[in-house]
Each structure stands twice: as C-alpha cells, then as structure tokens.
Chains A and B, each alone.
Chain A
C-alpha cells in the first residue's frame, strides 16, 4: 500500500523527468509544482476548481491541480506548460492573439493540449464543452476558440 504519513521527499514524474520534492501529504499538486519544483506555469486562481488557471495534464488528461493532492500524483505522468516546448497549440495562441494579460493562458493551453491528445478530431460541441472548464477575465474566448480550432483542423488534414 502506498502511504505518506508526514512531510517528506516524494518522487514525481514531471515533463518526462523524475523530480524529488519535499511535500506534506495535504499539499496540492499545484502547490508542489510551483513552490517545490519551481514550475510556475500552472497558476493559482480560485483554488476551488472554478477557473482552470491551474490546469495540467495527468496521464494526458487535463486536471485542475488545485483539486489534486500531490500524493495522488505519485506514479503518474504529469505535464505542465513548461514541458510543451513550442507545441503547435502554443504557436496557435500567439498567431491568434489568444490572450491579453496571459494569466489564464497556461491553463487554457494545457486543456487544449489534452483535447488534441484525446480527441484530435473533436467536434465544435465537444471543443466548447472542454473549453468551458477555463475562465478568462480578459474575455479572449473568440481568439482561444480560433487557436484550438486551427490545431484541430490542422491535425485532421
């Protein structure tokens, strides 16, 4: 049985690398990524599951890292925006001016990357369903939709 009783070192697989982090069992994945591993791409917004700014991929699926304990992530593949390394969705966000202040951007990009991984041929309806998980205070929604559509369409062709 995997167990973690006190603050201690755990090993996480993040962006393809094994990294050790000193964490409490009650720490969230968001806290561990930012404060222990220096990966500040995932942003704290509401910390309540509402805004999506903290979204990362766990085993390819978008997860709100504020609602995941770091202990739960042990043994799983975590990908943050730092691990994308200029993926097509990042270029598409730039090309489509899909941000203003940029605070929500890493969360949106990771959610979009999840959709591209899992449903590269997603319909507009499925795409909208997924995008509703993230909030943009600057209301860049149209441009974000255009960015993800350009990648999904590109994948189809």
Chain B
C-alpha cells in the first residue's frame, strides 16, 4: 500500500499534460509524469519517493505510436517493452528490453519510464545510444528534438516540466549486426552485473554498458581503443576498460575487479562475433 495520497491525471494531449504539470507545480504538489508506474509505485510504497500528483502519459496519441516516418522508426514514450519486443522492429532494442525485469513487468514498463527513471541501470537506453537516436521532448518551453547522445549524460538532462514524447531511430541502424549480453550475479532475472550492447556500424564496433558504473554509458574513447586494429585483441580490450568513464563499484553484486573480469570476457566474445564470421543478427 502506498502510504501517502496523490492525485491522478490522464491528459489526452501534450499541451494538456504540460499545462497540468505547471498548474500542479504552482500548487506545490510536486507533480511527476507517469509512464508504467513500476518505479513510482515500488519506490512510493517504500517511502523512497513522494509526490502530490501523477500525470499519466498513456492517453497521449503521440506517446503511443510505434511506426515508420520516412527513414525513421518512431517509438512513443508510453510504448511498453513488451510492445517493442512483440513488434521486433529494432531487434537489439527488443532483445535488451526483453531482459529487463521479467516478462509480466515488461507489459507495464514504458520506454520513457526506463529512460527517465532513477534506477541506475536503464538498460533500454543502450541501443538508443548506439544508434545515435533522437529524442523528442515537450515542456513549458516548447518542443525540441535532440540527439540522445547530447541529452543523456549519466541520466536524461530534462528541464523542469519536460517529458519525453518520442524516440526516433534511423532505419539504417535497425539491421546492423549486433550483440546483446546481460550477465547477472545469479538468476536470469536480476539487475545486471554487466550488460553490454554492441553494434557493428560501417566496419567499426560501438559498445554501450549498464551495471559497470552507477550510470549507463557509451564512450567514444573506449570505442576508439576497441577498434584499434594495430593492437592485439587483449590490448584493445584492456585499454578500453581503462577508459571506463566512471568508478566501477564494488557492491553486493560483485567487486570492481570481478566486473572488469566479466567485461574482458564479454568484450572478447563480442568482438570475435562481430569481427569474425558474417554475423547478421546475433
């Protein structure tokens, strides 16, 4: 049971959602946008989160689409991980989403909620970082569409009152050879010890990580080392890992050294798969 009260709003347009947010904010209700609610409900129940009002985005038509617009696949922020998996229009994203939580919760978790949540893993962001996706955002200052690689810095850098409306992915990335691996401490369903999504684009390998640091990331510096064919495979991997853009934590899931050990093994097999035989889709 959630031990505090809040109001529930389900607007049908972007303008109404923003307007509602502003009114509730002025009334000091600390409003929150609401996607699948899996994080809001579970954290609210534990008193780790407090709000006076939630604004459910699931009735806004723009947030519900999953379709092609010319050369882009457009995915609304309220689309669930299951819908993405069942449609399988972007196989790497479908596969990454299908390893988040469990199958039933994937019926509830939304693309926008996974991207904007406070839980550090946000595994669905990895394929978006690799494919240089665009994010459409709406807020009191208007609408903007910007590369995810500029707005996702450890987390989505949204201004107050802004929400994610859609993700846009260029068609060319949907069929690039890829590998997705998620290593957990024990059970198949768990937060990742290390998750890596990798994609081969124009002969080079791109890689994005979750579980390695306190935030998901893609690092072009690491990619340069991974693609440095003048070095041995082991050297490429070691130099890349040395450039990890944050502290590799030691916690209950595993030590920093163990995480690096796992990364080494996974990167080795990923590179072999992507550079070796003609991998089409892993």
Please give the residue numbers on chain A whose beta carbons come within 8 Å of chain B beta carbons, in ascending order.
Answer: 1-6, 24-28, 31, 47-49, 52, 55, 61-64, 66-69, 71-72, 111, 129-130, 132-134
Contact = CB atoms under 8 A, between A and B. Distances in A.
7 tightest A-B CB contacts, nearest first:
A133-B104, A25-B8, A133-B102, A71-B8, A2-B10, A26-B2, A4-B8
B64 to A, nearest CB: 14
A48 B102 CA distance: 12
Interface in B17-52: 20, 36-38, 41-42, 44-45
Contacts of B61: none
B104 A62 contact: yes
A55 B102 CA distance: 13
Contacts of B160: none
A6 B102 CA distance: 32
B108 A24 contact: no
Contacts, number: 96
Contacts of A27: 1-2
Nearest to B107: A61
Contact of B42 (A3, A48, A71, A129): A48
B4 A49 contact: no
A132 B103 contact: yes
B7 A25 contact: yes
B27 to A, nearest CB: 11
A102 B185 CA distance: 30
22 contacts: A1-B10, A2-B9, A3-B7, A4-B7, A4-B8, A25-B6, A26-B8, A27-B2, A28-B2, A28-B41, A55-B104, A62-B107, A63-B104, A67-B36, A68-B37, A69-B54, A71-B8, A71-B10, A72-B56, A129-B98, A130-B103, A130-B104
Contacts of B108: 63-64, 67-68
A48 B8 CA distance: 21
Interface of B: 1-2, 4-12, 16, 20, 36-38, 41-42, 44-45, 54, 56, 58-59, 82, 98, 101-105, 107-108, 188-189
Given A25-B7, A61-B82, 19 more contacts: A1-B20, A3-B9, A5-B7, A5-B8, A6-B5, A26-B5, A28-B1, A48-B42, A49-B38, A49-B42, A52-B104, A55-B104, A67-B105, A67-B108, A72-B10, A132-B102, A132-B189, A133-B103, A134-B104
Interface centre among B16, B104, B189 (most CB of A within 10 A): B104
A135 to B, nearest CB: 10
The CB with the most chain A CB atoms within 10 A, among B4, B105, B188, is that of B105
A32 B154 CA distance: 38
A55 B188 CA distance: 20
Contacts of A26: 2, 4-6, 8, 44
Most buried by A among B20, B45, B58, B188: B45
Contacts of B38: 49, 67
Given A1-B12, A31-B1, A72-B56, A67 B189 contact: no
B105 A49 contact: yes
Contacts of A3: 7-10
A1 B59 CA distance: 9
Nearest to A1: B11
Nearest to A31: B1
Nearest to B16: A1
A75 to B, nearest CB: 9
Contacts of B188: 132
